[in-house]
Amino acid sequence: MENHRNDGGSKLGMWLFLLSEILLFGGLFILYSVYRFQNPQIFHLAAEALNRPLGVLNTLVLLTSSLTMALSIFFLKKGSPGRSLLFLASTLFLGILFLFNKYLEWTWKVQLGIYPDAPRLLERERGEVLFYGLYYSMTGLHGLHVLVGLGILSVMLFFILKNKINHNHSVPLENTGLYWHLVDIVWIFLFPLFYLIT
Amino acid sequence: MIGGVTGLPDQIVEDVFLFIAAVSVSILVLITFLMIFFTIRYRRKRNPKPEDIRGNLWLEILWTVIPTLLVLSMFYYGWTGFRTFKKVPEGAFTVKVMARQWSWLFEYENGVKTDELIVPVGRPIHLLLTSQDVIHGFYIPAFRVKQDAVPGMVNPLWFQAKDVGAFDVLCAEYCGQQHAYMLTRLKVYPEEEFNRWYEEKGKQFEQEKGLPRGSRLLQEKGCLVCHSLDGTPRIGPTLKGLFGKTVPVITGDRERNVLADEAYLKRSLLEPNTDIVKDFPPIMPSQKGLLTGEEIDELVRYMKEL
Amino acid sequence: MSSFYEDEGRFRGILGWIFSTDHKRIGLLYLLAIFAFSAVGVLLGFLMRLELMAPGPTIMRPQTYNAIFTLHGVIMIFLFVIPGIPAIFGNFFLPIQVGARDVAFPRINLLSWWIYMAGAGLAVLSLFTGGGPVDTGWTFYVPYSLRTPVNVPLAVFAVFILGFSSILTGINFVTTTHQLRAPGMTWFRLPLFVWAIYATAWVQILATPVVGITLLLTLMERLAGVGIFDPLKGGDPILYQHLFWIYSHPAVYIMILPAMGIISEIIPVFAQRTIFGYKAIAFSSLAIAVVGSFVWGHHMFVSGQSDLASIIFSLLTFLVAVPSGVKVFNWVSTLYKGSIEVSPPLLFALTFIFLFSIGGLTGLFQGALATNVHLHDTYWVVGHFHYVIFGGTGFAIFGALHYWFPKMFGRRVGKKIPYLAWALLFVGFNTLYFPMLILGWEGMPRRYYDYLPQFHSLHLVSTVGSWILIAGLILMFGHLIYSLFRGEKERLENPWGGATLEWQIPSPPPRENFAEIPRVERGPYEFR
Amino acid sequence: MTPEGCGLKTYILVWLGLVVLTGVAVSVAGMDLAGWSTAVALIIAFLKSGLILLYFMHLREGGELRFLRWMIPGVLAILFLFTGLTFLDVAFR
Ligand code: HEA
Ligand code: HEA
Ligand code: CUA
Ligand SMILES: [Cu+2]
């Protein structure tokens, strides 16, 4: 029912959704902390085998994409859809770059014979099996969120082009932004927990 | 009872139960009585004009504080009882318990293994529970004790029998198809009788050590829960005359016949789900990691003779 | 003004229903779907009782029985009582009661119905694909659920999808309550039903994702062998139980809070006096929702969790019983000096108080550490939760159906038959479930296909109870369905003399509820 | 919420802050801080999230959704309680 548009409501709804997302990842963080507590040494050693430079790169990529996202909204609200589009497209590009890096990272691991249920992995210490179980599920779920985000970003791109959203009606883009920033925040925690264990 | 509950676990459970029951029943009766009384006393015919009463702070406080005190006392008795449950008395007689689909195996300190639990009367019994496959629940209703047997964990439990007799042991945690049949007996012997039994079994065990005999393995590894040796099918097919027979099996979606040779028997033990005997459910637990190579050879040799 | 039934939307006929974003139509869609699923659940319960009528195999094989109690639990919990009241009555009445034309996100509301149906569809599909119907119990405990050859992945995925629907409904209700209240509808003028749904909605939003991720991980572990819970891969099966109950205990409050909301609506109306302790009831809903989120470990006292954890969880469990008690006492006090008419809705509400109290009080035995060791995983627990869920939520639904029937359907329910049906239900219920409590105390474990001979007589009584109960059920629903088509037309806006907003608009309500958004000037239970 | 809520400059500064914090986190990980390195890493992560929440996600501005500002700490508190209670089991088994 378009006629009762309620911008405050939409945003509240989005925030509530984000809260539930926090707890979705929260479940994984609980698991992570317990297993790390139970296998501190092994988690440490396993983490050293991850590609830290790539992790840093990806962190920078996502942080920058958050900036471009915020700028895109900023310009849309200011009434310059052209620049908004530009920054939105950059966000999209950075998101893709992030996923590409993830893809590289995963393939390298798979080539080493480290993937779920791999015989090579199962030969190792139990804690390491768990580490990689968590690694694949947490970064995987996060990657999935990035992927979904990319889909929504593309739709937004299309909407701006069609002038369906503009400075009068920017809530869809703002909500997309909220989602995208949350995905970024999740990564901000995943990064030290997997790549920086010392 | 004030000042903490003492005694054996079963007595404690009963005391705490009675305490909570007394409080609960009184509250229930009170509420029900008031409810019915008000409904009749203030029915519309008799009381056509209602009176609005919005609340009463003192009542509100009263019926928050009193129940809180009541539940706290319930918590306290439950807890003191639980402390007794968790403190194994000194000098307890220890038995290791291995749960598996769907039987129990008891291992005594002298190495003897049984599938019924046999204990001396009047002595605290300390069980160390674990499982080799899924979670089971070790439960002796008569002694009001229960503890889950979890793979990868060793959970303790203790109890003490006051009288000689035989009692049911049940599996309380759902563990699959035959969960309801994962029963055994607890037999409480008088002290001397127990000692005699224990020594005799111990000697027998010493003699048999070193020569792993197939039939004992079948017993100990729980195979006989599902397989018979006399030709009748149970949960799984009978093992009698199996060797050399052609067995109809389902491999993937395909049906085929295979010759039961040594390789097949070994495969049946280690990867039971590759070939599933026709008309049987695919529930045989894989014995990988549960049997040593030597034991497998022994089992196969023995099965050939059946 | 024409009612929402006659309204011509974009589509006609059935499409006009399944693509309608009208909250009332969506509520009725849920009603129909949930009614159908619960009927299946009842049938399965009936079959279980037949099997347990006598020891030894009776009418089915063990594997069938195991699949049936799992399905019964999954249907009853995830398809019936969790969505139940919020999705049906919350959808229908929450917007009206706050004075809104619809929920905040009508299209998401429709989407969540579709997701619900998709989840249900997948659950049905899981019965006929993969290795066949699930046999894990509704709790899907690992490692059994990782080992059993049946179709666990699809079933777990179905539950995951259902959780998604539940979250969306919760988001809708929180937003509606915050944003769409009519002018003058202050927080303390909200009907208590709205308070209850509001508290529930928060639990739905914050607890559901935890079980979502747990089930997703179980799925991944089954399909891809990712090492998470499997002890063979170093995992900790107890951790699964933590994550599962972090949701599933609060879930029992998702089931009961809305039911308590209904009771708080019915009692003042039929006593024609204001509710006793409005704020105490409203805040106890929040207290139950908050404290109830931290008691999950009481399902794990004998699992091998640490003693310290057990002790803390037991303490918290007892604390959460207090706000439930506060509600009960306030309800009973509301009867005091009322002008009481024992119509069917009130009768069901009073029965709720009685049965829920029994259920709740039996919960205390389980919450106490010492007694739990004996009662855990026995029929005592089965008795406990049928008393709270069915005696509680179930009877609240029965009450709500009779209470709101004229408003929802514009027809009256006859006078006599509901009393007869109630009598059958009440007798049947207690004959069915009370013996279970005794069985549990005597040591009869749950999820047993077969049992030792000493348990026979009580099981037999229980089975007979199920027949009486089902007779009452058929009578009641038969009568309601009859009234739906043949009942006298309800011309009054306010047949019971209620003071909340839904009674100030025509029965059945028009499409956007209010011709003009009302200005609220008094509390929900000011009858004069 | 006005379009001017945050200026361009603020955004860029926040981004710079985020990058610097990432750098700090990485270099701290190289040092030997005994048991503290995880704590430091997490504190930095919280700081970064705070920046994003307050500026990029506009929680700083409040407005009609002011109560949301309490929701994030609220939800985190719930999550910590979940974790804490789980650890009552795991750490004391
Ligand atoms: C609607 C659902 C519902 C509700 C509301 C409750 C409410 C409660 N439940 Fe229940 N419970 C279930 C559904 C529910 N439960 C289910 C489905 C299971 C089994 C899951 C499974 O394993 O399959 C279960 C299992 C379960 C267990 C685990 C048993 C076990 O497996 O070992 C425990 C243990 O503490 C428990 C306790 C309680 C308590 C203390 C309450 C309290 O909230 C009750 C509070 C109410 C009252 C106390 C009554 C009214 C109050 C008064 C009359 C006032 C005066 C009383 C005093 C305060 C003294 N429940
Ligand atoms: C909502 C919850 C609910 C309801 C209503 C019921 C109803 C019934 N249940 Fe229950 N039951 C469970 C939830 C429920 N059950 C759960 C969670 C388990 C545990 C499963 C497990 O162990 O995994 C269980 C387990 C369980 C067992 C134990 C199995 C075992 O451990 O071996 C038994 C045994 O007899 C049983 C019997 C019955 C019977 C005979 C009925 C009914 O036939 C009684 C008749 C029912 C009604 C009269 C109510 C129907 C209501 C409607 C039709 C409302 C219509 C709705 C609208 C109009 C919107 N159930
Ligand atoms: Cu073993 Cu149930
Ligand atoms: Cu619970």
Closest ligand to residue C254's CA: 1
Distances (CA, A) of B191 to A54, A118, B9, B170: 70, 54, 21, 25
∠ CA(D35), CA(D38), CA(D44), 5° rounding?
A: 135
Is there a contact between D41 and A196 if contact means CB atoms under 8 Å apart? yes
* Ligand 2: centre distance to CA D25 (Å): 54
Helix H, strand E, coil C: the string for C156-184 is: HHHHHHHHHHHHHHHHHHHHHHHHCCCCC
Who wins on pLDDT, C388 or D1?
Answer: C388
CB count, 10 Å around CB of A111?
9
pLDDT in tens, B148-190: 999 989 999 999 988 899 999 999 999 988 899 999 999 999 9
| End-to-end Cα, chain C, rounded Å | 27
Taking a C-beta distance cutoff of 8 angstroms, is the pair B20, B74 a contact? yes
Domain-embedded: residue D43:
yes
As a CATH number, domain B93-210 is 2.60.40.420
Q: Which atom of ligand 3 is nearest to the CA of B176?
A: 2
Decide if pLDDT at C185 tops 60.
yes
Decide if pLDDT at B2 tops 60.
no
- Tokens at C522, concatenated: 């008094």
pLDDT in tens, C265-293: 999 999 999 999 899 999 998 899 999 99
Decide if pLDDT at C9 tops 90.
no
Decide if pLDDT at C363 tops 80.
yes
Decide if pLDDT at C14 tops 90.
no
Decide if pLDDT at C129 tops 70.
yes
Mean pLDDT value across chain C? 91
pLDDT tens series, chain A, 198 aa: 334 557 778 888 999 999 999 999 999 999 999 999 998 888 888 888 888 889 999 999 999 999 999 999 999 988 888 899 999 999 999 999 999 999 999 999 888 888 888 887 888 888 888 999 999 999 999 999 999 999 999 999 999 998 888 888 888 999 999 999 999 999 999 998 888 876
> Quick check: CB of B175 below 6 Å from ligand 3?
yes
Is there a contact between C364 and B55 if contact means CB atoms under 8 Å apart? no
d(C-alpha C85, C-alpha B41), whole Å: 32
Who wins on pLDDT, B135 or A165?
Answer: B135
**Number of folded domains that form chain D:** 1
pLDDT in tens, D10-64: 899 999 999 999 998 888 877 766 677 788 888 999 999 999 988 888 887 766 6
Decide if pLDDT at C500 tops 80.
yes
Is there a contact between A27 and C209 if contact means CB atoms under 8 Å apart? yes
Taking a C-beta distance cutoff of 8 angstroms, is the pair C127, C209 a contact? no
Question: Looking at chain B, which runs of residues are DSSP E strands?
Answer: 93-100, 103-108, 113-114, 117-120, 124-131, 136-140, 145-149, 155-160, 165-171, 184-189, 246-251, 254-259, 275-277
Neighbours of chain A (3+ CB pairs under 8 A): C, D
Question: Which residue in chain A is spatially nearest to C180 when comparing CA positions?
Answer: A9
Is there a contact between C312 and D88 if contact means CB atoms under 8 Å apart? yes
d(C-alpha D85, C-alpha C310), whole Å: 10
Closest partner residue to D52 (CB to CB) among A59, A66, A71 is A66
CB count, 10 Å around CB of B22?
10
Please tell me chain B's helix, strand, coil percentages from 3-state DSSP, rounded to the nearest 5.
40, 25, 35
> Quick check: CB of B117 below 6 Å from ligand 3?
no
Q: Are B9-86 and B214-305 equal in CATH topology?
A: no
pLDDT at C490: 80
Decide if pLDDT at C118 tops 90.
yes
Decide if pLDDT at C2 tops 60.
yes
Question: Which residue in chain B is spatially nearest to C526 when comparing CA positions?
Answer: B52
Q: Which of residues 452-481 of C touch B (CB under 8 A)?
A: 452
* Residue of C233, C239, C296, C511 to mutate, interface with A, max A Cβ within 10 Å: C233
Is the C-alpha dihedral spanning B244, B246, B248, B254 positive or negative? positive
Neighbours of chain C (3+ CB pairs under 8 A): A, B, D
Q: Which of residues 44-103 of C touch A (CB under 8 A)?
A: 101-102
Is there a contact between D89 and C206 if contact means CB atoms under 8 Å apart? no
Q: Cα D92 to the chain's mean position, in Å?
A: 29
Mean pLDDT for C90-108 is: 93
Is there a contact between C213 and A25 if contact means CB atoms under 8 Å apart? yes
Domain-embedded: residue D29:
yes
* Residue of A3, A25, A43, A129 to mutate, interface with C, max C Cβ within 10 Å: A129
Mean pLDDT for C335-364 is: 94
Domain ranges of chain B: 9-86, 93-210, 214-305
* Residue C190 confidence class, pLDDT cut points 50, 70, 90: very high
d(C-alpha C68, C-alpha A186), whole Å: 40
Closest ligand to residue C310's CA: 1
> Quick check: CB of C140 below 6 Å from ligand 2?
no
Taking a C-beta distance cutoff of 8 angstroms, is the pair C425, C476 a contact? yes
d(C-alpha C173, C-alpha C154), whole Å: 29
* Ligand 4: centre distance to CA C86 (Å): 20
Closest partner residue to C294 (CB to CB) among D75, D81, D93 is D81
Assigned fold of B9-86 = Helix Hairpins (1.10.287)
* Ligand 2: centre distance to CA C466 (Å): 10
C528 touches chain B (CB under 8 A): yes
Neighbours of chain D (3+ CB pairs under 8 A): A, C
* Residue B6 confidence class, pLDDT cut points 50, 70, 90: low
Question: Which residue in chain A is spatially nearest to C105 when comparing CA positions?
Answer: A10
Domain-embedded: residue D2:
no
Min distance D55 CA to chain C CA atoms (Å): 24
d(C-alpha B282, C-alpha D84), whole Å: 41
pLDDT at C351: 96
Domains of chain C: residue spans and CATH: 15-504 (1.20.210.10)
Closest ligand to residue C330's CA: 1
Supply the ipTM of this predicted assembly: 0.91
D39 touches chain A (CB under 8 A): no
C214 touches chain A (CB under 8 A): yes
Closest partner residue to D89 (CB to CB) among C246, C294, C305 is C305
With beta carbons under 8 A apart, name residues in chain C contacting D77.
Answer: none
Min distance D84 CA to chain C CA atoms (Å): 10
**In 3-state terms, what secondary structure has residue B148?**
strand
Domain ranges of chain A: 2-195
> Quick check: CB of C42 below 6 Å from ligand 2?
yes
As a CATH number, domain A2-195 is 1.20.120.80
pLDDT at C50: 94
pLDDT at A19: 93
The CATH number of B214-305, from 1.20.970.10, 1.10.760.10, 3.90.870.10, 3.40.50.300, is 1.10.760.10
pTM greater than 0.90: yes
With beta carbons under 8 A apart, name residues in chain C contacting D85.
Answer: 294, 296-297, 309, 312-313
Closest partner residue to D75 (CB to CB) among C206, C238, C297 is C206
Range scoring the smallest mean pLDDT among A164-168, B198-202, C349-353: A164-168
Taking a C-beta distance cutoff of 8 angstroms, is the pair C167, C105 a contact? no
Mean pLDDT for B211-219 is: 74
* Residue D1 confidence class, pLDDT cut points 50, 70, 90: very low
Give the residue numbers spanning the domain of D64: 8-91
Nearest of C62, B35, A77, A99 to residue D61 by alpha carbon: A77
Decide if pLDDT at C374 tops 50.
yes
pLDDT at B4: 42
Is there a contact between C234 and A25 if contact means CB atoms under 8 Å apart? no
pLDDT at D63: 64
Min distance D29 CA to chain A CA atoms (Å): 6
Q: Cα C457 to the chain's mean position, in Å?
A: 31
Closest partner residue to A34 (CB to CB) among D26, D53, D86 is D86
pLDDT in tens, B72-125: 999 999 998 888 888 888 888 999 999 988 889 999 988 888 889 999 998 899
* Residue of D32, D33, D52 to mutate, interface with A, max A Cβ within 10 Å: D52
* Residue of D88, D89, D92 to mutate, interface with C, max C Cβ within 10 Å: D89
Taking a C-beta distance cutoff of 8 angstroms, is the pair C343, C267 a contact? no
pLDDT in tens, B27-80: 999 999 999 999 999 998 888 888 888 888 899 999 999 999 999 999 999 998
Who wins on pLDDT, C493 or C65?
Answer: C65
Is there a contact between A20 and C171 if contact means CB atoms under 8 Å apart? yes
* Residue C388 confidence class, pLDDT cut points 50, 70, 90: very high
**In 3-state terms, what secondary structure has residue C297?**
helix
